[in-house]
Amino acid sequence: MSFTEEISRRKTFAIIAHPDAGKTTLTEKLLLFGGAIQTAGAVKSNKIKKSTVSDFMEIERQRGISVSTSVMGFDYRDLQINILDTPGHEDFAEDTYRTLTAVDSAIVVVDVANGVEKQTEKLTKVCRMRDTPIIFFVNKMDREGKDAFDLLDEIEQKLSVRVCPLSWPIGMGSRFKGVYNLYAKSLVLFNPHGTQDEGDLIIFEDLADPDLEKYIGETPARELRTEVEMVETVYPEFSREEYANGNICPVFFGSAVNNFGVKEMLDCFVEIAPPPLPRITEERVVLPEEEKFSGFIFKIFANMDPRHRDRIAFLRICSGKFERNKNYRHIRLGREMKFPNPTAFMASRKTLLDEAFPGDVVGLYDSGNFKIGDTLTEGEILHFKGIPSFSPEQFRYVENADPLKQKQFAKGLDQLMDEGVAQMFIRQSDGRRIIGTVGALQFDVIQHRLESEYNAKCRYEPVSLHKAAWVHGSAADMKEFLERRKRDIGKDKDDNWVFLAETGWVLQTVQEAFPNIEFRFTSE
């Protein structure tokens, strides 16, 4: 297969949603259809002891939530599908924001009962900022929820998008009969036993056909005809180009837990979703079909396999072909590196690979050389843009709770901070470590992982802080600023100066007093 053919067969996308919308369940069903797994797990099910493939950390299994992005690849219809399943919980949004820099499209899961929720708004906004093509999957149609038209109005208004339904539900809850696939002109009948076979799919070019009543009944048939006519009148006709530019968003309806409506969406997705897209660097635009290899690190994960204490850097390939044991230049460190054991992912399961292409996500074993945002190339100096760190909103002092485990404590904290689980600042006045997070749950994750993965214990102490801001200015301005505000100054893990504001009023006052100092609340 030629290089350009290899690129065109890749589809790399993220699945995003508010917690409990059914995102991880949908991921499992996609893997099931792709033949990557034989049995789908169930999130938060006591009856089914098998946990989901994508939630492989112990704390994820205990709490029934995703706290870290996981990567899964499989073949489907001669295509290489790369799914990045992201955390839904807002406390882990930063991991999701970074993951969205590594994908070419996204599927947004919406709960039919709850509609558009807070985290859905935030994550969709990030996709909109980058013009990332989006497909919506309205989930849990086997339960009572919002009227389909009302829900589409809500999606359009809250998320500032134009939708284009490509399937339409026949009833909902106890009255749910199935969906009519507007894209493929087929009727898919709902089987409440959670299986879907060929007999449930009926090619139905014309809804005026009187046979419709035989399959779904008189009243549902009448309602379906009326509603589909409204859909075709009110919503724009599907255009692949408009979707690829992020201007319209296809919508599918189904029930992931019942394995229903998922295959229809997947079959459409693999047809319309874009192949690997160009990537912007500080120097130029990088095209996937370029001969020379380039890629960037968007995630680091320590102890993916606790037995081996390994640390994996996730590399998104942007151009050229990546090859095992070939020398590549680490741009930040300015040195050549080669990788004898690059891996392809199936959640926590890894397989050795010899080569990979644009759109693929490769795992590189890392002994501490990588940071999030690092670039690898065949020599050209490139810096990929748009991989953010956000100013934390919650802060605590962190202390070693076991003096005999100081080495493990320090190593564990360093590695977890490199992962981007949270951010650590060293206050310059007293040298104390301050952990900053987006949400409170991250403190529990750090404590749990220090104990279970590093055999170290930490304790937290309260600290009165409102905001952390990265500060920049001329040498003379910075010297004066650092001298006058020394008790509020810290450094991050990359040795950058950070202003630690106790209150919003203090932050505003200091900004006014030092107009030549730039205060940033994100860093790239």
Task: Give CA separation, 270 vs 51, 59, 124, 135, 344, in Å.
Answer: 27, 33, 21, 12, 20
d(CA 430, CA 444) in angstroms, rounded, equals 25
Axis-axis angle for helices 148-159, 218-234 (nearest 10) = 30
Domain termination residue (choose one: 272, 307, 334): 272
- Please report the pLDDT score of residue 87 as a whole number: 59
- Range in 41-45, 408-412, 512-516 the model is least confident about: 41-45
Q: What pLDDT score does 284 carry?
A: 94
Q: Do 237 and 100 fall within a single domain?
A: yes
- Per-residue pLDDT tens for 38-50? 554 533 333 333 3
Does residue 382 belong to any structural domain of this protein? Answer: no
pLDDT, mean of residues 308-327 = 88
* Residue 384 is assigned to a structural domain of this protein: no
Question: What is the structure's pLDDT at 261?
Answer: 87
The pLDDT assigned to 335 comes to 94
Once rounded to an integer, what is the mean pLDDT over residues 159-185?
91
User: Which residue's entry shows tokens 């906004």?
Assistant: 125
Confidence of residue 423 (pLDDT cuts 50, 70, 90): confident
Residues 121 and 145 in one domain: yes
What confidence score (pLDDT) does residue 57 get?
A: 45
Q: pLDDT tens digits, residue range 55-70?
A: 434 444 444 433 345 6
Give the domain-ending residue among 377, 410, 434.
377
Query: What's the burial of 522, exposed, middle or buried (CB within 10 Å: 0-12/13-18/19+)?
Result: exposed
CATH of the domain at 486: 3.30.70.3280
Q: What is the pLDDT of residue 99?
A: 79
Distance CA(365)–CA(346), nearest Å, equals 16
pLDDT score of 506 more than 70? yes
84 and 126 co-located in one domain: yes
Q: What is the pLDDT of residue 193?
A: 59
Q: Could you tell me if 254 and 286 are in contact, meaning their C-beta atoms sit under 8 angstroms apart? A: no
Report the pLDDT averaged over residues 125-154: 91
Q: Total structural domains in the chain? A: 3
Helices 148-159 and 118-129 pack at an angle, to 10 degrees, of 60
Residues 120 and 86 in one domain: yes
Q: What is the CATH number of the domain that holds 11?
A: 3.40.50.300
DSSP-derived 3-state class of residue 146:
coil
Token pair of 22 as six digits: 């059914």
Domain final residue pick, 377, 398, 432? 377
Q: Are residues 13 and 50 in the same domain?
A: yes
pLDDT at 462: 94
What lies within 8 Å, CB to CB, of 50 at 6+ separation is 39, 41, 42
Q: Identify the domain containing residue 23 by its residue range.
A: 3-272
**Cβ atoms of residues 375 and 384 within 8 Å:** yes
Closest CA to 289 of 271, 297, 277: 277
| Separation between Cα atoms, residue 137 and residue 152, nearest integer Å | 11
Same domain, 316 and 191: no
Task: For residues 325 and 473, state if they share a domain.
Answer: no
Q: What is the mean pLDDT of residues 402-412?
A: 91
Determine the pLDDT at residue 22.
81
Q: Is residue 383 part of a domain?
A: no
The answer to whether residue 503 sits within a structural domain is: yes
Tell me: pLDDT of 383 over 70. Answer: yes
Element (H, E) at 520: strand 518-520
- Does residue 357 lie within any of the structural domains? yes
| H-run or E-run covering 157 | helix 148-159
Task: Tell me the H-state helices in 235-294.
Answer: 240-244, 262-272
Mean pLDDT value across the chain = 84
Region 359-381: what's the mean pLDDT? Answer: 90
Q: Supply the pLDDT for residue 129.
A: 77
Interatomic CA distance for residues 365 and 32, integer angstroms = 28
Decide which of 517 and 308 is more confident: 517
Same domain, 159 and 177: yes
One domain for residues 308 and 290: yes
Confirm whether 450 is domain-assigned: yes
26: number of CA atoms within 13 Å, CB side?
34
- pLDDT > 60? residue 307: no
Distance (Å, whole) CA 14 – CA 404: 42
CB 179 within 8 A of CB 169: yes
Torsion of CA 12, 18, 22, 25, to 10 degrees: 40
Name the percent of the chain lying above pLDDT 70: 85
Same domain, 356 and 396: no
CA 74 to CA 333: how far, in whole Å? 33
Does residue 104 share a domain with residue 214?
A: yes
User: 513 and 434 share a domain?
Assistant: yes
Please write the tens of the pLDDT for every residue from 73-94. Answer: 888 888 999 988 765 445 455 6
pLDDT at 147 > cutoff 80: yes
Q: What's the whole-model pTM score?
A: 0.77
Q: Is residue 169 part of a domain?
A: yes
Residue-level pLDDT at 51: 39
Give the separation between CA 334 and CA 337, rounded to whole angstroms.
10
